[in-house]
Homo-oligomer: A and B are copies of this chain.
Amino acid sequence: MFSNIYRHTLSCLGKKIAFAHVRNTSQICAQTLQYTKFGEPADVLELVQQEIPEPTDCEVLVKILAAPINPSDINTIQGKYPVKPPFPAIAGNEGVAEVLCVGEKVKKLKPGQRVVVAVNALGTWRTHAIFDEHQLMGVPAKLDLAAAATLIVNPPTAYRMLKDFVPLARGDCVIQNGANSAVGQIVHQLCKAWGINSVGVVRHRPNVDELKEYLKTLGATEILTEEELSTTEIFKKGGKLRPPRLALNCVGGKNASNVARLLAPKGVMVTYGGMSRNPLLVSTPALIFKNISYCGFWITRWSKEQAKSTEREKMFQELVQMLATGVLKGAKCEMVPLKDYKRAVAAALDVKGLVGKKLILDMSC
């Protein structure tokens, strides 16, 4: 069945390791988390066996190593996300994988290479898959597995929101709520790397001082609770920081209004999430007289629009470099074996318990 791939892989690499890879694929039956209707993940997800066809043309057969559980993955399975996959659907939108073998027209990828799935909605919660070459992006093998598995959604979200809405210079200030979210943590780190002050807002909690300290070690200039936000004087005249020109919002409701109130004239609030499930309350005088504006950001749209731009490639080079050198590190995470997926999705739904921690499905066990 795989004879032509045997030959192609052998000719590509000309060494035994390639042969070993291909030998494995000939027996591959992928474990796949699939759903055939929308609903609660623990109810609708099924772990099924899928035979993997041989890759031809520009196709690449990969062994998926790890795939995170993002809030948007859960929402997609629930049918609450604007992306509605056809059924049967395979869950998961990002992940890190190893190339096992490649079709005859594949140009850049080779067996043994580490890759990430670079296109949304392909289904990554499975042990093996066939993708088109252009849907994959090579990453250095030395990159931490969790960092690689979570490269495609959160770091670019933070990066683009800091780059694309307000021109920020060193010493400028950014404010964000949900500072302990996966994106929030990256925002503080990128700001530190780029000489931008960042103020984060978090909910009060028993260990809030510990959390503040942790986020400051990541790079936050200041971390305030929602209560402290309303009385802070750090942005007042003669205060520690310039009023922020950019606000990043993943909470909505009153929290977002309180954050927006601190923006400098002409400031922009970029919304990328709505954890409180409350709409934003926007002040008319702030729009008119203070020239505050409100936009949204969705990495899925941006990635589609920029699929062929060099900007995306440039950004990932920079992010990978920062991750590889430790300038940037991903959110704390917990690896969960694929077979324990029910526990993993249940934990991912427990927003309070999970804040700042990402669950990653480990496909190797």
Write the residues of chain A forming the contact surface with B, with a CB cutoff of 8 angstroms: 82, 252, 271-274, 279-298, 301
A281:B280 contact, CB within 8 angstroms: yes
Selected from B281, B287, B297, the residue in CB contact (under 8 A) with A288 is B297
Min distance, Cβ A109 to any Cβ of chain B, angstroms: 32
Considering the complex, give the chain B residue whose CB is closest to the CB of A295: B293
How far, in whole Å, are A284 and B284 apart by their CA atoms in the complex?
18
B288:A292 contact, CB within 8 angstroms: no
Contacts of A273 in B (CB 8 A): 284, 288
- A279-B281, A280-B281, A281-B281 are known contacts. Are A296 and B301 too (CB-CB below 8 A)? no
How far, in whole Å, are A287 and B289 apart by their CA atoms in the complex?
22
B296:A293 contact, CB within 8 angstroms: yes
Min distance, Cβ A285 to any Cβ of chain B, angstroms: 7
Contacts of A295 in B (CB 8 A): 287, 291, 293-294
How far, in whole Å, are A296 and B288 apart by their CA atoms in the complex?
4
Considering the complex, give the chain B residue whose CB is closest to the CB of A275: B284
How far, in whole Å, are A285 and B272 apart by their CA atoms in the complex?
9
How far, in whole Å, are A289 and B297 apart by their CA atoms in the complex?
8
Contacts of A287 in B (CB 8 A): 271, 280, 294-296
8 pairs, CB–CB < 8 Å, chain A vs chain B? A280-B282, A281-B281, A281-B282, A288-B296, A289-B296, A289-B301, A294-B294, A294-B295
Considering the complex, give the chain B residue whose CB is closest to the CB of A279: B281
How far, in whole Å, are A297 and B289 apart by their CA atoms in the complex?
8
B282:A292 contact, CB within 8 angstroms: no
B293:A293 contact, CB within 8 angstroms: yes
How far, in whole Å, are A291 and B301 apart by their CA atoms in the complex?
9
Considering the complex, give the chain B residue whose CB is closest to the CB of A301: B291
Considering the complex, give the chain B residue whose CB is closest to the CB of A281: B279
Contacts of A82 in B (CB 8 A): 285, 289
Name which of A282, A288, A291, A295 has the most chain B CB atoms within 10 A of its CB: A288
How far, in whole Å, are A294 and B293 apart by their CA atoms in the complex?
6
Min distance, Cβ A126 to any Cβ of chain B, angstroms: 26
B283:A279 contact, CB within 8 angstroms: yes
Contacts of A301 in B (CB 8 A): 289, 291
How far, in whole Å, are A99 and B296 apart by their CA atoms in the complex?
51
Considering the complex, give the chain B residue whose CB is closest to the CB of A293: B295
Selected from B271, B281, B284, the residue in CB contact (under 8 A) with A274 is B284
How far, in whole Å, are A18 and B256 apart by their CA atoms in the complex?
62
B294:A298 contact, CB within 8 angstroms: no
Min distance, Cβ A282 to any Cβ of chain B, angstroms: 4
A274:B279 contact, CB within 8 angstroms: no
Contacts of A298 in B (CB 8 A): 288-289, 291
Considering the complex, give the chain B residue whose CB is closest to the CB of A299: B288
Min distance, Cβ A200 to any Cβ of chain B, angstroms: 20
Min distance, Cβ A213 to any Cβ of chain B, angstroms: 30
